[in-house]
Structure 1
Amino acid sequence: MSELSGYTRISVTQNNLQELKEIWDQWGNETKQLFYGNYRDLPYLLDVQIDEHLFRALAQFWNPAYSCFTFGEVDLVPTVEEYTALLRCPRIKEKGECKCISWDALKDLILTHPDEAKRVDVFALSLYGLMVFPRALGYVDEATTDLFHRLGKRVASVPAILAETFKSLGACRKAGAGRFVGCAQLLLAWFYSHFRLIDKVVCRVFFEDYSPLKDIVASIRRVDVPEENWIALLQNLQSKDVEWRAPWMIPGEVLYRCGSFNWVPLLGILGAIGYAPLLVLRQFGLRQFVPATHGLTQSEFAYREADYKKRVGEISNAWNKTCRLKGVTISPATTSEYVE
């Protein structure tokens, strides 16, 4: 689509998740099943190693104007449907009250609280604050705890996860440098599923309790490829190199617009941004065409701006009037008007 230029110096500094992983490994099956029942597959992300060379290379191809990756002749972007399928968490139950707090304090609660359900809740909050939204290293910040309160029947986490991922990538690209503060583990797990030059993920999508993330973690092959080699490879990526529909993605409905927006607006924890799923219909096995994206570049705003409450209200109302395409399984193709 559009040409990108300029090197972005992006930091992928993460919280140390080893103590979280050790706690998880020490839990018995009953406690783990309680967690899975409430929060689904987040713990599998603890086993996704961050390939910093690959991640920094990926960041060079983020296209802020279209909120998508542009690799050579290929456009790709993680979608609401894909992240929902990966995490298996379209709905999450409401939580008890909790505010901004240090990991040390949270760890003490996880290890000492007499109520097993409360220990599970605090562990989930820690995963969200330290791994999914790692804004303040060593702490779970207030914006994350506020989202955690609202994760109920009418609020899902995936739109916020995507919003913060897109906003952080865009901010780093525009500034030419910065620290990525989204969920790097989930973004890499998504990328592995679409990239044919990495070991193919073996999936059993129709098995009961099938977990895409569990399969991805088991299939990842650690490779030591320099960042410049990744950049050269991604610059020349062609359609034949891409697994357009992720092997764990079952055909279904595709959310492509909300209300009067020609795209999907996403509310994050600190701001909002839009993305256009119609740009990547091939990820759903559908024929690709040139979509309307007018106004998409103006869709991003922060919650500190003067009129942000009005805009948040407009987006919330728009999500009550969604439009969806019914996905079918066909060979990915493009219309004659589509320009690679």
Structure 2
Amino acid sequence: MHIISQVHSRACSLIEMAIVPELKRKTCSYSFHREPLTSLIELSNLMTSGNQKGFVDQYGDILTLLKMVVDPVPLQTLLQFYDPELHCFTFQDYQLAPTLEEYSILLSVPVRYQVPFLDVPKEVDFRVVARALHLGIKEVSDNWKSSGDVVGLPLKFLLRVAREEAEKGSWEAFHAQLAVMIYGIVLFPSMPNFVDYAAVSIFIGGNPVPTLLADTYYAIHSRHGKGGAIRCCLPLLLRWFLSLLPVSGPFVDAQSTHKWTQRVMSLTSYDIRWQSYRMDVRNVIMSCGGFRNVPLVGTRGCINYNPVLSLRQLGFVMKGRPLEAEIAESVYFEKQSDPARLEQIGRAWKSIGVKDGSVLGKKFVVAMPDYTDWVKERVETLLLPYDRMEPLQEQPPLILAESVPAEHYKQALMENRRLREKEQDTQMELYKAKAGRLNLAHQLRGVREEDASRLRSKKRSYEEMESMLDAEHRECLRLQRVEASYQKKIRDLEKQLRDKDIQLKKEVDLRQASENHLGGGVLELRRQLKEKITLLPECSECDLLIDQCQYLKTLIPGGRLP
């Protein structure tokens, strides 16, 4: 009878939806900016498969977040379903909210049961920073800069020292420096190309999950209804959301025909992948100190989240509607505005309320009608951001009782155990395949580097030969131009010589003619002169006078005549 009434109620609601358009909540436009990560990805590729395994063992699976492409469309869709009063995402008949345990599994980083990061120290201890990053104290202090209202280390400096460590083969130092860069640029983004002191402090503390979850909730909550930039670890949020969605079937098949909003609106609680990696979670942090929920401290502000709304994600049964104290907003403020409240949260984390299966019950991943009805009532108040869609795949029957028949439970338990064993085998095969792929990629990179080196060598030889031939060609052209110039000069000189020769011949002919003309006159003059000249007779008196002069000359002292 109850089933018939539910079917009738659903049919009536569908008819009403077809007649009267359902009211929808206002949507906002969000932006999801990420800094260029090419330099970091290239740096991470310097590691071999063995080095990568050591890196993941020490710092978790943060390389996946570094290389993950963030699609803004699913994030834009997800944020439209945010419930600001409950600090979760409320859909048609189910709720989703990221948890400490899920972030821990996705990152392969355990949550330490201790006081998480509260705030950066007032004074920078360069010795602690230098020791954590395997750098010299002076090297850190000299490169410690300010950017905006934060201080820290420039990304350019860390990239340089990390490359130097890789060249030396100092992989421990390289891993630490690469990890802190991923912390500052991917996990806790603050300023462009800058790793601030908060990211360095969280890296040194080694307990990043609570701060990551806090930044996620605080960024979404502070921008709800306003839109704008969401500054948190976007790849981790997207990875969490996608891990809950179907990976096969109509939801995936419809991606080419339906928008993201339509596909999400078609999902019901039966389509969500509750039984994924979360089934191994045994202990859940449910409260801290006097808080009935979990207060979180991020890099910018504080906010609480309500684990009671996420139990189904961790494999437990959602028995009924939660208590008001468990879902009330206990914390939401900017850190700098209330230091006393921040200290109170720090004290609360010294008394962590952890519950296990003995309290939360057996894992059966179902929601009882009381809880589902409460969610639907919440939807009527909150409204949905988009038009309802019929489910894309056939829905199973409802669970109408709080208890499950033992036979069905045992069957489900055996199936669950079988699937878990199969998942473990698949994970092992996947790990081996990834290791083989990384090894092949490393070998391929080595072969490509050798080929590139040979190609560069050949290219240099060809370039040198081409340069030499080009130089010889230019020299040949120059010599041809010089030869042409000299030939022109020779032709000019030959012409000048010919002209001179002609002129000289003319002058010789003129002189010859002149001499011939003058020659006759000279002969005539000689003849006439001979005729006129008469020979003088010999004179003895002259000879006598000359002798007397010579004698007198000998008589005068000094041989001088007056």
Task: State TM-score, norm by structure 2.
Answer: 0.51
State the alpha-carbon separation in 1 of the partners of residues 323 and 29 from structure 2. Answer: 31
Structure 1 residue 330 corresponds to structure 2 residue 364? yes
Equivalents in 1 of 2:261, 2:371: separation in Å?
A: 28
- Once residues 293 and 129 of structure 1 are traced to their aligned partners in structure 2, the CA distance between those partners, rounded to angstroms, is 37
Match of 1:177 among 227, 238, 248: 227
Counterpart-to-counterpart distance in 2, 1:253 and 1:4: 38
Distance in structure 1 (CA, Å) of the matches to 2:262 and 2:228: 22
Matching residue of 1:112: 164
Q: Which residue of 1 aligns with 2:12?
A: none
Are 1:290 and 2:345 counterparts? Answer: no
Q: Give aligned-pair identity as a percent.
A: 27
Q: Is structure 2 residue 64 aligned with structure 1 residue 41?
A: no
- The residue aligned with 1:163 is 214
Q: How does 1:1-340 map to 2 (within 5 A)?
A: 5-90=25-110, 95-96=132-133, 100-113=152-165, 114=168, 115-151=170-206, 156-174=207-225, 176-196=226-246, 198-199=247-248, 229-247=259-277, 249-288=279-318, 289-294=320-325, 296-305=328-337, 307-308=338-339, 310-327=340-357, 328-334=362-368, 336=370, 339-340=374-375
Instruction: Return 5+ residue gaps in structure 2 as ranges.
Output: 1-22, 113-130, 145-151, 376-562
3-state secondary structure, aligned to 1:26: coil
Give the C-alpha shift of residue 33 in structure 1: 3.3
**Aligned-partner Cα distance in 2 for 1:290–1:274:** 19
Kept after mapping to 2: 8 A contact 1:287/1:335: no
User: Which amino acid in 2 is paired with 1:292?
Assistant: L
Contact 2:274 2:365 in 1 (8 A): no
Q: Distance in 2 between matches of 1:29 and 1:38?
A: 14
How far the C-alpha of 1:285 sits from its partner, in A, is 2.1
Instruction: Verify the 8 A CA contact 2:243 2:273 in the aligned structure 1.
Output: yes
Q: Residues 36-74 of structure 1, C-alpha deviation per residue, up to 9 Å, x if partnerless?
A: 232021112223211111111111112222111112222
8 Å Cα contact 1:171/1:178 also seen in 2: no
Question: Residue 48 of structure 1 aligns to which amino acid in structure 2?
Answer: M
Q: Aligned equivalents of 1:322 and 1:91: distance in 2?
A: 12
Q: Which residue of 2 aligns with 1:204?
A: none
C-alpha distance in 2, partners of 1:314/1:193? 34
Q: Secondary structure at the match of 2:45?
A: helix
State the one-letter code of the partner of 2:108: R
TM-aligned CA deviation for residue 20 of structure 1: 1.3
Of Structure 1 and Structure 2, the greater strand share is in 1
Q: Deviations over 1:149-194 (max 9, x none)?
A: 333xxxx1111000001111112214x2221111111111111211
Q: Which amino acid aligns with 2:212?
A: I
Aligned length: 309
SS at match of 1:240: coil
* Residues 249, 136 of structure 1: alpha-carbon distance in 2 compared, 3 angstrom cutoff: farther
Q: Which moved more, 1:229-238 or 1:317-326?
A: 229-238
Give 3-state SS (helix, strand or coil) of 2:98's partner.
Answer: coil
Structure-2 change in CA distance of 1:298 and 1:4 (3 Å)? farther
* CA deviation map 1:91-133 (0-9, x unaligned): 69x9348651222222112111354322211110111111111
Would the alpha carbon gap of residues 62 and 4 (structure 1) be closer, same or farther in structure 2, given more than 3 Å must change? farther
1:82–1:249 CA contact under 8 A, matched in 2: no
AA partner of residue 223 (structure 2): C
Q: Is the 8 A contact 1:194 1:245 kept in 2?
A: no
Q: Is the 8 A contact 1:73 1:237 kept in 2?
A: no
Q: Is the 8 A contact 2:244 2:274 kept in 1?
A: yes
Provide the secondary structure at the position in 1 that maps to 2:174: helix
How much has 1:332 moved relative to structure 2? 1.3
Q: Compared with structure 1, are the counterparts of its residues 262 and 91 closer, same or farther at alpha carbon in structure 2 (3 Å cutoff)?
A: closer
Q: Secondary structure at the match of 2:222?
A: helix
d(CA) in 2 for partners of 1:36, 1:225? 36
CA contact (8 A) 2:279 2:315 kept: no
Q: Give the Cα–Cα distance (whole angstroms) in 1 for the partners of residues 182 and 256 of structure 2.
A: 29
Q: Which has the higher helix share?
A: 2
